[in-house]
């Protein structure tokens, strides 16, 4: 049987396991990336492993999330990241150099290679034919040390594109259409491969938009073939030598095939508060807009922003709209500036922000109370913008600009003027903001600088035979990591300070959670389906662990979060009978006995203090059981586990 592109890359990187969907496979990782908000933890974890130099082909630390520097905390973290990276053989992308995924696509991503990053949108690299996964910081630390990355072998989905996008309809609309079809759970356990004649009309940055938003489907990752378009992009970045061609075999088999006709697609919009709450833009024409934000790792390429500039040229934005534009990288910003497009953006009344995540993660530019904000980003979870009652919609750059000009949600295809963009043959290459590590022979004397914001890594507990714990919180379906461990300008600077962060855990759902969990001693959380969707932040597991959470019982889990729970020593369990969810009440005491034995059989019995008894599944590999019994991945690794 022929292979899909992902199966070919997995086969070439397979360390152990068999490639049947559902079994565990261990992969060799060629490249790693971290960003600052998850990176501090990842490097603290790497340091405790005691490995002097990273063993990957290429590892890089980006600073793009926490760039506001409202106090000493961020500055301290940046300095720690720069010095720890230099010492251990990791490249360092300075603050302001751009958003990790955009810069990685431009400068470092290579077709056919494996990449893991401590950020859930790492699959952006699939736009250039990489097999790229988002992962928790601990998994990235292990990969930097030369360890394998373990995943459950995914099913294969194929999206077959035909036709060609009409003017003002974009790659973002393709992503939103797939979210409408599949929902935020529809990609769980699958790799989404893109193919068909239609892909020949999509450039690498457009492909990157699509693979970036595959994360919102819950997919393990997404990938495009590496073809002549990939080759041309690499040549234009001065990296033609990095090209290898990659395509699926003609007889490759897929578990599901979805057809999308690009020519029939309309501009789409995701309504509050979920990326799959998608309708056609045309159906919302009368909604008044307060704010428009363009940027993020989904839509901040030169191609996107040249289109934005062309649409804004000679026009002024509506007086009731505030417009921000955050270029994805220094390369994008410089090239916009050199060709005059930046002046067109500025002249329209837009506010140009730093090349960073910015408003996407609530670092400034929060909307006004109840404000309608149209964003070219990938997530519109409740409260993520920093304004709890903000109404955030996700759109393409074209819909964003059309709406910023009229002041109402506007279908850009109603614009009569054609939009034509000339992409340069050559990108402007200047990697001066990427610092090389110190040479290996000098590394021993290189100093790592830590500030007072960097607190000790929290200690987890191994499991005893029996656990009695209080059900401290019961939540519903699709709980995101933004619910569990919010981000935003007030909290994000404390990502290396778990005790401080813990005060905000689950704040969106129940502000009393943190105090109650601490008081309970050992605790259990009960959730609905797709628990832990969204970000890769391991803080959504480490912080509950710090607060005494020992287990989570849910109807189902999101992929990266379940791995983070296990790595942090928290036992993930799923209801054998989902109706039992209804029968549980917050504050009950739950007892689980025969833990080690139950883990082996994959079944545990839970008894509540009112006598109600029910079964849960805990589908864990032998390695995951050992990690949990050791009290988490760090303990396991220290004890010599592989």
Using CB under 6 A as the criterion, which residues of the chain lie in contact with ligand MIC when the complex forms?
37-38, 65, 119-121, 134, 361, 487, 534-537
Q: Which of ligand MIC, ligand SF4, none does 99 bind, CB closer than 5 to 8 A by kind?
A: ligand SF4
Nearest to ligand MIC of 110, 121 (CB atom): 121
- Could you say whether residue 405 binds ligand SF4 (CB under 6 A)? no
Q: Which of ligand SF4, ligand MIC, none does 38 bind, CB closer than 5 to 8 A by kind?
A: ligand MIC
Q: Which of ligand SF4, ligand MIC, none does 175 bind, CB closer than 5 to 8 A by kind?
A: none
Tokens 């001066």 correspond to: 432
- Minimal distance, residue 40 CB to ligand MIC, in Å: 10
CA 423 – CA 417 distance, rounded (Å): 19
- Minimal distance, residue 258 CB to ligand MIC, in Å: 24
Two tokens at 365?
A: 């530019």
CA 186 – CA 352 distance, rounded (Å): 36
Nearest to ligand SF4 of 357, 435 (CB atom): 357
Report the length, in residues, of the chain. Answer: 642
- Could you say whether residue 119 binds ligand SF4 (CB under 6 A)? yes
3-class DSSP string for 43-108: HHHHHHHCCCCCCCCEEEEECCCCCCCCCHHHHHHHHHHHHHHHHHCCEEECCCCECHHHHHHHHH
- Could you say whether residue 297 binds ligand SF4 (CB under 6 A)? yes
Q: Assign residue 383 a region: left if phi > 0, alpha if psi is -120 to 50, beta otherwise?
A: left
- Minimal distance, residue 306 CB to ligand MIC, in Å: 25
Cβ atoms of 616 and 575 closer than 8 Å? yes
- Minimal distance, residue 53 CB to ligand SF4, in Å: 27
- Minimal distance, residue 37 CB to ligand SF4, in Å: 8
Q: Which of ligand SF4, ligand MIC, none does 536 bind, CB closer than 5 to 8 A by kind?
A: ligand MIC
Q: Which residues pair with 221 in a beta bridge?
A: 191
- Could you say whether residue 99 binds ligand SF4 (CB under 6 A)? yes
Strands (E), 271-390: 278-280, 291-294, 322-325, 351-352, 372-375
> Which position among 115, 144, 271, 361 is part of the footprint of ligand SF4 (CB under 6 A)?
361
- Could you say whether residue 378 binds ligand SF4 (CB under 6 A)? yes
Dihedral, CA atoms, 120, 125, 127, 128, nearest 10 degrees?
-170
- Minimal distance, residue 297 CB to ligand SF4, in Å: 3
- Could you say whether residue 132 binds ligand SF4 (CB under 6 A)? no
- Minimal distance, residue 532 CB to ligand MIC, in Å: 11
Rounded to 10°, the helix 36-49/539-546 angle is 70
Cβ atoms of 486 and 506 closer than 8 Å? no
Q: Which of ligand SF4, ligand MIC, none does 604 bind, CB closer than 5 to 8 A by kind?
A: none
Nearest to ligand SF4 of 34, 183 (CB atom): 34
Tokens 């495009």 correspond to: 224
Nearest to ligand MIC of 120, 470 (CB atom): 120
CA 16 – CA 23 distance, rounded (Å): 11
Nearest to ligand MIC of 38, 230 (CB atom): 38
Q: Which of ligand MIC, ligand SF4, none does 544 bind, CB closer than 5 to 8 A by kind?
A: none
Cβ atoms of 222 and 91 closer than 8 Å? no
Residue 640 has φ and ψ, to the nearest 5°, of 95, 5
Cβ atoms of 420 and 194 closer than 8 Å? no
Nearest CA-CA partner of 273 in 362, 410, 390: 390
Nearest to ligand SF4 of 66, 453 (CB atom): 66
- For residue 401, the SS3 value is helix
Nearest to ligand SF4 of 84, 99 (CB atom): 99
Which of the residues 437 through 456 are near ligand SF4 (CB under 6 A)?
Answer: none
Nearest to ligand SF4 of 31, 624 (CB atom): 31
CA distances from 485 to 87, 239, 250, 417 (A): 30, 39, 44, 45
Nearest to ligand SF4 of 62, 575 (CB atom): 62
- Minimal distance, residue 486 CB to ligand SF4, in Å: 13
CA 212 – CA 378 distance, rounded (Å): 8
- Minimal distance, residue 513 CB to ligand MIC, in Å: 19
Nearest to ligand MIC of 183, 378 (CB atom): 378
Nearest to ligand MIC of 65, 158 (CB atom): 65
Cβ atoms of 336 and 427 closer than 8 Å? no
Cβ atoms of 103 and 93 closer than 8 Å? yes
Alpha carbon 307 to chain centroid distance?
A: 25
- Minimal distance, residue 541 CB to ligand MIC, in Å: 12
> Which position among 296, 348, 514, 529 is part of the footprint of ligand SF4 (CB under 6 A)?
296
User: How is residue 282 annotated by DSSP?
Assistant: G
Mode of pairing for the β-strands spanning 351-352 and 322-325: parallel
Two tokens at 414?
A: 């109603």
> Which position among 61, 143, 223, 360 is part of the footprint of ligand SF4 (CB under 6 A)?
360
Cβ atoms of 83 and 437 closer than 8 Å? no
- Minimal distance, residue 570 CB to ligand MIC, in Å: 18
- Minimal distance, residue 562 CB to ligand MIC, in Å: 15
- Minimal distance, residue 429 CB to ligand MIC, in Å: 26
3-class DSSP string for 625-640: HHHHHHCCHHHHHHCC
Nearest to ligand SF4 of 147, 359 (CB atom): 359
Which residue stretch of 46-54, 79-87, 354-362, 403-411 sits at the interface with ligand SF4 (rule: CB under 6 A)? 354-362
Nearest to ligand MIC of 38, 226 (CB atom): 38
CA 436 – CA 524 distance, rounded (Å): 44
- Could you say whether residue 322 binds ligand SF4 (CB under 6 A)? no
Q: Which of ligand SF4, ligand MIC, none does 138 bind, CB closer than 5 to 8 A by kind?
A: none
Instruction: Please confirm whether the linkage preceding 114 is cis (ω < 30° from 0).
Output: no
Residues that bind ligand SF4 (CB under 6 A): 65, 99, 119, 121, 296-297, 357, 360-361, 377-378
């Amino acid at each position: 049987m022929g292979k899909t592109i992902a199966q070919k890359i997995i086969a070439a990187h397979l360390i152990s396991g068999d490639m049947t969907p559902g079994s565990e496979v261990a992969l060799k990782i060629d490249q790693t990336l971290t960003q600052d908000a998850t990176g501090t933890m990842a490097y603290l974890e790497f340091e405790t492993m005691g490995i002097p130099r990273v063993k990957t082909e290429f590892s890089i630390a980006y600073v793009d999330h926490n760039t506001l520097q409202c106090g000493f905390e961020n500055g301290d973290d940046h300095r720690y990241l720069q010095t720890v990276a230099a010492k251990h053989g990791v490249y360092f992308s300075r603050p302001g150099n751009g958003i990790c995924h955009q810069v990685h696509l431009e400068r470092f991503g290579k077709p056919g290679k494996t990449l893991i990053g401590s950020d859930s949108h790492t699959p952006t690299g699939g736009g250039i034919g990489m097999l790229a996964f988002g992962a928790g910081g601990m998994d990235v630390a292990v990969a930097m040390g030369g360890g394998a990355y373990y995943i459950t072998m995914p099913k294969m989905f194929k999206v077959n594109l035909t036709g060609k996008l009409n003017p003002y309809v974009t790659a973002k609309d393709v992503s939103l259409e797939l979210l409408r079809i599949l929902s935020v759970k529809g990609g769980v356990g699958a790799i989404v491969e893109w193919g068909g004649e239609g892909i020949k009309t999509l450039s690498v940055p457009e492909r990157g938009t699509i693979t970036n938003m595959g994360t919102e489907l819950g997919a393990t990752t997404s990938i495009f073939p590496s073809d002549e378009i990939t080759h041309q992009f690499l040549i234009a970045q001065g990296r033609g030598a990095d090209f290898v061609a990659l395509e699926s075999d003609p007889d490759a088999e897929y578990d599901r095939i979805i057809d999308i006709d690009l020519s029939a697609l309309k501009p789409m919009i995701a309504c509050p508060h979920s990326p799959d709450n998608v309708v056609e833009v045309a159906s919302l024409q009368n909604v008044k807009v307060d704010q428009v934000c363009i940027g993020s790792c989904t839509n901040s390429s030169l191609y996107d922003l040249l289109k934005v500039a062309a649409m804004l040229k000679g026009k002024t934005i509506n007086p009731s709209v505030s417009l921000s534009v955050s270029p994805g990288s220094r390369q994008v910003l410089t090239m916009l500036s050199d060709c005059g497009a930046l002046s067109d953006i500025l002249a329209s009344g837009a506010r140009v922000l730093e090349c960073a995540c910015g408003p996407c993660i609530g670092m400034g530019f929060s909307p006004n109370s109840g404000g309608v904000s149209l964003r070219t980003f990938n997530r519109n979870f409740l409260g993520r913008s920093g304004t709890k009652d903000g109404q955030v919609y996700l759109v393409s750059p074209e819909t964003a600009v059309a709406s910023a000009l009229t002041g109402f949600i506007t279908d850009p295809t109603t614009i009569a003027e054609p939009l034509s963009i000339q992409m340069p043959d050559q990108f402007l290459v200047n990697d001066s903001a990427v610092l090389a590590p110190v040479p290996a022979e000098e590394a021993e004397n290189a100093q790592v600088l830590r500030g007072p914001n960097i607190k000790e890594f929290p200690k987890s507990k191994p499991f005893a035979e029996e656990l009695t714990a209080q059900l401290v919180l019961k939540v519903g379906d699709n709980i995101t990591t933004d619910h569990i461990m919010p981000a935003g300008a007030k909290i994000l600077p404390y990502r290396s300070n778990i005790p401080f962060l813990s005060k905000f855990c689950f704040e969106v759902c129940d502000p009393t959670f943190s105090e109650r969990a601490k008081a309970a001693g050992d605790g259990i959380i009960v959730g609905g389906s797709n628990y832990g969707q969204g970000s890769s932040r391991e803080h959504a597991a480490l912080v509950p662990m710090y607060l005494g959470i020992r287990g989570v019982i849910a109807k189902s889990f999101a992929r990266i979060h379940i791995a983070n729970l296990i790595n942090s020593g928290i036992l993930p369990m799923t209801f054998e009978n989902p109706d039992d969810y209804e029968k549980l009440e917050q504050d009950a005491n739950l007892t689980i006995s025969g833990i080690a034995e139950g883990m082996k059989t994959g079944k545990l019995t839970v008894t509540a203090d009112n006598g109600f008894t029910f079964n849960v599944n805990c589908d864990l590999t032998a390695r995951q059981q050992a990690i949990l019994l050791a009290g988490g991945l760090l303990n396991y690794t220290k004890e010599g586990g592989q």
